[in-house]
Structure 1
């Protein structure tokens, strides 16, 4: 996970390429989805909350 200078974050993960899974997500035009490990979220939560 990377912080940008625009007040957003970029998440690096595994691209979801299964068409059925992508249809279920109903993503807006121009967006895509990635899967990230749960441990990454735990690490970010620890970093934010101390």
Structure 2
């Protein structure tokens, strides 16, 4: 099951990269702020869900 999920995620990331979308590295401060602003998409176990990037 995990392997299938990893494959789907990898396939989706490939599609995104092929579209010309660039990957950027964010500072830990920015990541923390994004997590705080998007806390409603985090569940009790701390697992991250895909989230809409809020304006900071």
Question: Fold-level match, TM-score > 0.5?
Answer: no
TM-score by length of 2: 0.30
Structure with the larger RCO, 1 or 2 (CA within 8 Å, 6+ apart)? 1
**Structure in which a larger fraction of residues adopt strand:** 1
TM-score by length of 1: 0.32
**Structure in which a larger fraction of residues adopt helix:** 2
